[in-house]
């Protein structure tokens, strides 16, 4: 991704409508700043009334106030001023609560939208992208990186708020005591700039390291939970716990460094502000000046400085936090900025949602001069492959492990794009209208992905609940020879099967996979070693269901065992990147 400014990157993650909302937020922040300023500025009149009521006539604010209010008695004026200050602080804090809610909802809504956008971007990536990236990286980006990106947004809003408050307070303090204000502000500015220049690179490096550690922690969880059966059988629980905990120690180390870099500014700012005020007092004492004459201004200055310190601290902490989280924002923007391909996934979904409107097509599949090489590999997996799968026939593909059988099917499916050659269906390149091709195929892998949901939801995977056609679900289950089993269950289609189908047998899991592939009544059915993990009896039962379908659909079946494809019309062998037709015995 080309170098972009921070605000250009933030613009990428916000839709146009939400960007306008920033203008509204800015005006709301201005109102809150005005309340803060009003609350501080009323302290000086109150202190003057308390300390030197006899000198009120000399105060410009008193003359202005008595001109508009029919109040001459200082005690009455004092009471009114106390009530006004109380009312201002009540309204100010109620408004602050309202602002917190508005800001929190705004950030949470957009954070979810951006995470969804990132997930959408990942799902639209080519299949080769997912082959090259660990799922922990994707989870980290969707959850952790997006969260960090919105911490930057929150920090910028905080920076604007505290910056406006600080400007107003500095302006007010310049009126109270310009020399001391100028000295303290100059000291704070010099300190902040020097500190930021020193720690900026350290913070960015810490942010990069934190992202890498987060991936390792997520990976430990995913691996442990994903293989929990084997982990428990082998007694390897401690290994994965230690893996997570060891990476967690590195995470704590990074957080400790961040805590130190973030806490140092707060204490130094406090020393500068309080030291400045006390230094002024000491200076006046050394000159033997009458302190009673400056008690009012010192009180107002102290109150303003107490308000200014948190703002100055927050500004420094915010800048540090932004530097720490910039690597996460860069990663999010890099994914969003990568506009790969067309809207393939959504287009296919739209095609399939046109219930029954797509015409059936029984046509040949032709593979012409096909060559494919995986990224970062020199040797091609497939070389000059030519074959034709006639409509309504079943074709078996065999070969040793690693020969390229699955790669061949993935290319025909359209998951992988060949460097040379093309795949035709009905004489038309599948890439010309990939969504139409997707809508015509069904795929059954060796390891069926099942969600911890109902049988209905697993058969119609990815279809919104109110859009699922139960009649089509039952037909698919019957075609997969699983209908009788589901009818025997107490909850029928609503029966839950557990995570990865833990509550049903291996054969039943495969049949749900077949039913899922049949839900849209595809023209072409692919089986990628779909029975390899089954025992012989179960495999025969599953293949009986598949063979019954092969009379009305084109079937392409990958298998290790020749017995699996003995009923196929044609058999091809993949060896050394070549595909040759075998003579049936």
Neighbours of 343 (CB within 10 A): 12
| Cα distance between residue 370 and residue 387, in whole Å | 9
> In Å, how far are 125, 354, 483, 496 from 393, measured between CA atoms?
32, 27, 26, 36
pLDDT at 196 over 60: yes
Q: What is the pLDDT of residue 323?
A: 75
SS3 535: coil
Read off the pLDDT band of 426 (50, 70, 90). confident
Q: What is the pLDDT of residue 346?
A: 43
Q: Phi/psi at 371 (nearest 5 deg)?
A: -135, 140
Task: Give residues with Cβ within 8 angstroms of 346, minimum separation 6.
Answer: none
End-to-end CA distance of the chain: 57
- Return the HEC string of 485-542: HHHHCCCHHHCECCHHHCCCCHHHHHHHHHHHHHCCCCCEEEEECCCCCCCHHHHHHH
pLDDT at 249 over 50: yes
| Cα distance between residue 583 and residue 572, in whole Å | 9
pLDDT at 293 over 60: no
The side-by-side arrangement of strands in the sheet containing 554-558 is 441-444, 524-528, 554-558, 394-398, 570-575, 578-582
Q: What mean pLDDT value characterizes the chain? A: 75
Fold of 349-582: Rossmann fold (3.40.50)
pLDDT at 59 over 60: no
Between 396 and 47, name the one with better pLDDT: 396
Q: Report the share of the chain in percent with pLDDT over 70.
A: 71
Q: Report the share of the chain in percent with pLDDT over 90.
A: 0
Read off the pLDDT band of 268 (50, 70, 90). low
Cβ contact 452:499 at 8 Å? yes
Q: What is the pLDDT of residue 228?
A: 66
pLDDT at 157 over 60: yes
Give the highest mean pLDDT range of 24-33, 230-239, 295-304, 518-527: 518-527
Write out the two tokens for 74. Answer: 């200082």
Q: What is the pLDDT of residues 311-329, one digit of tens each?
A: 666 676 777 777 777 788 8
Read off the pLDDT band of 341 (50, 70, 90). very low
Q: What is the pLDDT of residue 441?
A: 87
| Cα distance between residue 576 and residue 450, in whole Å | 34
Cβ contact 434:348 at 8 Å? yes
Q: What is the pLDDT of residue 345?
A: 42
Q: What is the pLDDT of residue 300?
A: 59
Cβ contact 147:119 at 8 Å? no
Q: What is the pLDDT of residue 163?
A: 76
| Cα distance between residue 437 and residue 429, in whole Å | 9
Cβ contact 478:511 at 8 Å? no
Could you tell me which of 275, 439, 262 has the C-alpha nearest to residue 358? Answer: 439
The side-by-side arrangement of strands in the sheet containing 428-429 is 382-389, 365-372, 420-425, 428-429
| Cα distance between residue 365 and residue 219, in whole Å | 40
pLDDT at 421 over 80: yes
Q: What is the pLDDT of residues 349-402, one digit of tens each?
A: 444 444 444 567 778 888 888 888 888 777 888 888 888 888 888 888 888 877
Q: What is the pLDDT of residues 76-116, one digit of tens each?
A: 766 777 787 788 888 888 888 888 888 888 888 888 888 88
Place of tokens 């803060």: 36
β-strands 578-582, 570-575 pairing = antiparallel
Q: What is the pLDDT of residue 289?
A: 61
The fourth-level CATH superfamily of domain 6-337 is ABC transporter type 1, transmembrane domain (1.20.1560.10)
Report the number of secondary-structure helices (H) and strands (E) in the chain.
20, 10
Torsion of Cα atoms, 488 then 490 then 492 then 496, to 10°: -120
Where is 395: in which H helix or E strand? Answer: strand 394-398
Write out the two tokens for 328. Answer: 């996460």
Averaged over 110-137, what is the pLDDT? Answer: 81
| Cα distance between residue 79 and residue 71, in whole Å | 11
Domain ranges within the chain, ordered by starting residue: 6-337, 349-582
pLDDT at 204 over 50: yes
């Amino acid at each position: 991704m080309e170098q972009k400014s921070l605000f250009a990157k933030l613009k990428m993650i916000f839709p146009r409508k939400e960007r306008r909302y920033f203008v509204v937020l800015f005006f709301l922040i201005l109102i809150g700043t005005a309340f803060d300023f009003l609350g501080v500025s009323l302290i000086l009149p109150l202190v003057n009334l308390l300390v030197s009521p006899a000198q009120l006539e000399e105060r410009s604010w008193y003359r202005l106030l008595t001109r508009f209010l029919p109040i001459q008695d200082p005690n009455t004026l004092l009471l009114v001023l106390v009530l006004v200050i109380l009312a201002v602080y009540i309204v100010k804090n109620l408004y602050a609560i309202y602002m917190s809610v508005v800001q929190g909802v705004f950030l949470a809504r957009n954070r979810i939208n951006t995470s969804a956008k990132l997930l959408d971007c990942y799902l639209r990536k080519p299949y080769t992208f997912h082959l090259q990236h660990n799922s922990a990286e994707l989870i980290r980006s969707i959850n952790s990186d997006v969260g960090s990106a919105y911490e930057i947004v929150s920090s910028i809003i905080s920076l604007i708020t505290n910056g406006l408050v600080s400007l107003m307070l500095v302006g007010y303090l310049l009126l109270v005591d310009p020399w001391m204000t100028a000295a303290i502000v100059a000291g704070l500015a010099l300190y902040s700039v020097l500190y930021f220049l020193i720690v900026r690179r350290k913070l960015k490096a810490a942010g990069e390291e934190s992202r890498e550690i987060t991936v390792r922690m997520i990976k430990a969880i995913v691996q442990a939970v994903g293989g929990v059966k084997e982990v428990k059988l082998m007694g390897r629980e401690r290994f994965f716990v230690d893996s997570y905990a060891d990476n967690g120690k590195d995470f704590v180390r990074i957080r400790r460094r961040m805590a130190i870099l973030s806490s140092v500014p707060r204490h130094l700012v406090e020393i500068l502000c309080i030291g400045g005020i006390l230094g002024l007092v000491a200076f006046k004492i050394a000159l033997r000046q009458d302190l009673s004459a400056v008690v009012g201004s010192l009180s107002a200055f102290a109150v303003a400085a107490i308000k200014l310190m948190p703002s100055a601290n927050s500004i420094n902490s915010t800048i540090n936090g932004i530097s720490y989280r910039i690597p996460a924002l860069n990663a999010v923007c890099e994914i969003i900025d990568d506009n790969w391909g067309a809207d393939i996934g959504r287009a296919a979904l739209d095609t399939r949602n046109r219930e029954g409107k797509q015409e059936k097509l029984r046509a040949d599949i032709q593979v012409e001069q096909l060559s494919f090489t995986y990224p970062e590999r020199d040797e091609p997996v497939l070389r000059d492959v030519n074959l034709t799968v006639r409509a309504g026939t079943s074709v078996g593909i065999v070969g040793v492990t690693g020969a390229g059988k699955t790669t061949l099917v993935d290319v025909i499916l359209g998951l992988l794009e060949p460097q040379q050659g093309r795949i035709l269906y009905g004489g038309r390149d599948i890439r010309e209208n990939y969504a139409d091709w997707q809508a015509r195929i069904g795929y059954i892998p060796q390891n069926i992905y099942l969600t911890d949901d109902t049988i209905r939801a697993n058969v119609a995977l990815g279809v919104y609940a109110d859009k699922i056609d139960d009649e089509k679900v039952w037909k698919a289950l019957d075609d997969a020879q699983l209908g009788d089993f589901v009818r025997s269950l107490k909850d029928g289609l609503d029966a839950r099967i557990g995570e990865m189908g833990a509550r049903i047998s291996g054969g039943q899991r495969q049949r749900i996979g077949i039913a899922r592939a049949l839900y849209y009544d595809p023209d072409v059915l692919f089986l990628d070693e779909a029975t390899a993990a089954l025992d012989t009896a179960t495999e025969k039962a599953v293949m009986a269901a598949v063979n019954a379908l092969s009379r009305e659909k084109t079937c392409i079946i990958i298998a290790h065992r020749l017995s699996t494809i003995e009923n196929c019309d044609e058999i091809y062998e993949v060896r050394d990147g070549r595909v040759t037709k075998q003579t049936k015995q």
